[in-house]
Amino acid sequence: MTLSADYTDRIPNNVDLRGDRRLQRALEAWQPRFMQWWRDLGPDLIARDVYLRTAISADRDGWAHFGHIPLEEYRWGIFLADREPDRRIAFGEHMGTPAWQQVPGEYRAELQRLLVVQGDTEPASVEQQRLLGFTAPSLYDLRNLFQVNVEEGRHLWAMVYLLHAFFGREGREQAEELLMRHSGSVDAPRILGAFNEPTRDWLAFFMFTYFTDRDGKFQLGTLAESGFDPLSRTCRFMLREEAHHMMVGTTGIDRVVRRTAELMREHDTDDVKRYGGIPLDIVQRYLNFHYSVSLDLFGGERSTNVANYFTAGLKGRWQEERRGDDHRLTDLTAGVDVVVDGRIERVDIPALTALNQDLRSEYFTDCNNGVRRWNRILDESGAGRTLSLPHHGFNRGVGAFAAYRVTPEGSLVDAQTWLSREGEWLPTQADFEYIQSLMRPVFEPGKMAAWIAPPATGINGQPVDYEYVHLT
Ligand code: BYC
């Protein structure tokens, strides 16, 4: 049964917060600190109101409630997907036993670590995007930015709820620290690398929502399989919201590529800078960067951490129940790439320790769908060019390739070759400056910046020229 949320509560929720006064008080004490963080490090552009989707309950009709809302009145709620009766753990050494409704003592530290890492990414992305509102290419895009930001804020709430409800004092301390680390901070950076990179322009924002949010989709997918049922239910609900973020990335890059292709055809040149477009070379370099730093988010391809998470029943595989094996993997092996004597070779390792790579290959397939889509747009407009994903060893800071220089095509090169060719493969200072020169706000309903095509449709059946945001 879905406990529907009372939206007049200070913290809308479907977890019967009123029935647990201690937990309610703890979360109400955290709330003003969250609000202070949002004011300090959330979106810098102040809008009067924004056409937002708000989750007001976890059931079909309630999770996507649309309306213009002043941001300071937005309520970040706590929503878990409905409980599945008699849910059982689907993998690892506890396979077949009832899913846990409480934290198993022996896995407390590991579970807490997973929640903290997941929770840390959510406010980080809001911090990374805080200045983008000032240069939005349209009101439609500005609205999407705010939507992504409030939902990342809600995802932080989701993890903080679990920390407060199940991890006692330590959980509360960790919840405080989630507001104290900051993206890019020298003293207290965010935990994972990609979340300390600046999101300096809208091309980076679309790449981030395509590639980095997609890591979120896959990580949440593995946590949705967790034997710890409250985590599973939390992630199942988060995944629905996450889908919108990826739509923003996919269609954002679609629209950039479409506009570039139009300009290439109209002026019969690849050099669309003269006409205010984004050359495909720059799109490819941004893609190379965001894809490679997002691959780092999967951890090393050989990891005992992931083997332990799986065996313990804490973190499963993508679509675990659809896999045709024994779901324990103790006797299986899997191939991973390593560098041996200056060559990339595939070696077999225990399948359990290769699970980060298992997830990464699901991610690769999904990322490739976008590339195919963008190449279709280029093909249809006769651009005669394509985009591609770089090799998984390219520009890596984590895992088997971290100590090597690998080209986007997958050849190992020495440091000197890398240095002389890096500017072909990764965004240069000149690229950043050029893209920055295009970042001028367009706040008139229905109008778009010249470097991006309009979206095919508006939000929630509204027209593209709808006044999605009322500025002050
Ligand atoms: N940067 O055993 P290894 C999202 C550390 S995105 C820095 O190979 P493991 C979102 C690692 O902690 C999804 N450090 O890795 C998207 C370990 O340290 P310890 C976020 C890194 O543990 C957009 C050591 O290196 N959720 O939701 O198997 C907007 C050895 O690592 C990095 C999750 O990630 C790195 N990139 O896997 C908003 C799910 N990678 O233990 C939101 C929860 C590794 O030796 N997290 N290290 O001190 C996990 O499942 C795992 O922690 C990881 C790493 C997949 C991240």
Dist CA 96 CA 261 (whole Å): 53
DSSP state of 185: -
Q: How far is the CA of 306 from the centre of ligand 1 (A)?
A: 10
Nearest CA to ligand 1 atom 20: 118
Report d(CA 164, CA 169) in Å as an integer: 8
Q: Which residue matches tokens 């990464």?
A: 360
pTM for the model stands at 0.96
Alpha carbon separation from 104 to 1, 116, 149, 168, 313 (Å, rounded): 25, 17, 33, 14, 11
**Residue matched to tokens 């008699």:** 86
Query: Residue 2 has what pLDDT?
Result: 44
Residues with CB under 6 A from ligand 1: 114, 117-118, 121-122, 125, 152, 192-193, 212-213, 215-216, 219, 296-300, 303, 305-306, 315, 356, 398
Coil, strand, or helix at residue 70? coil
The one-letter amino acid code at 13 reads N
**CA pair distance 107, 103, nearest whole angstrom:** 7
454 token code pair: 């309009």
Between CA 200 and CA 205 the distance in angstroms is: 8
Question: Residue 249 corresponds to which tokens in the numbers above?
Answer: 């990335």
Give the residue whose CA is nearest to atom 14 of ligand 1: 192
Cα 149 to Cα 71: distance, rounded to the nearest angstrom: 11
> What is the strand order of the sheet 65-69 is part of?
65-69, 47-54, 469-471
CA–centroid distance, 442 to ligand 1, in Å, is 37
Task: Say how far apart CA 332 and CA 351 lie, in whole Å.
Answer: 5
Ligand 1 geometric centre to CA of 45 (Å): 31
Q: pLDDT tens per residue, the chain (472 residues)?
A: 344 555 557 899 999 999 999 999 999 999 999 999 999 999 999 899 999 998 776 666 666 789 999 988 898 999 999 999 999 999 999 999 999 999 999 999 999 999 999 999 999 999 999 999 999 999 999 999 999 999 999 999 999 999 999 999 999 999 999 999 999 999 999 999 999 999 999 999 999 999 999 999 999 999 999 999 999 999 999 998 888 899 999 999 999 999 999 999 999 999 999 999 999 999 999 999 999 999 999 999 999 999 999 999 999 999 999 999 999 999 999 999 999 999 999 999 999 999 999 999 999 999 999 999 999 999 999 999 999 999 999 999 999 999 999 999 999 999 999 999 999 999 999 999 999 999 999 999 999 999 999 999 999 999 999 999 999 8
**Residues with Cβ within 8 Å of residue 173, at least 6 apart in sequence:** none
Q: Give the residue whose CA is nearest to atom 53 of ligand 1.
A: 299
- Residue nearest (by alpha carbon) to ligand 1 atom 1: 192
Angle between helices 304-312 and 355-380 (to 10 degrees): 100
How does DSSP classify residue 351? G
**Helix, coil or strand: residue 414:** coil
Q: How far is CA 35 from the centre of its chain?
A: 22
CA of 296, closest atom in ligand 1? 36
Query: 14 with 80: CB under 8 angstroms?
Result: yes
* Closest residue by Cα to residue 220 from 319, 88, 303, 290: 319
The torsion angle over the Cα atoms of residues 369, 370, 373 and 378, rounded to 10 degrees, is -130
Q: Is 466 strand, coil or helix? A: coil
Q: Are 136 and 142 in contact (CB under 8 A)?
A: yes
**What is the C-alpha separation between 238 and 242, in angstroms, rounded?**
6
The DSSP line for 87-144 is: -B--SGGGTTSBPBSS--GGGHHHHHHHHHHHHHHHHHHHHHTTTGGGG-SSHHHHHH
Angle at which helices 108-128 and 139-166 pack, to 10 degrees?
A: 160
Residue 401 to residue 293: CA distance in whole angstroms: 12
According to the model, what pLDDT value does residue 62 have?
Answer: 64
The beta strands (E) that lie in 302-406 are given as 333-340, 343-350, 405-406
Q: Which atom of ligand 1 is nearest to the CA of 114?
A: 43
Contact 190, 124 (CB under 8 A): yes
Q: How far apart are CA 122 and CA 109, in angstroms?
A: 21
CA 117 / ligand 1 centre spacing (Å): 7
165 Cα–ligand 1 center, Å: 23
Give the atom of ligand 1 at the shortest distance from the alpha carbon of 306.
28
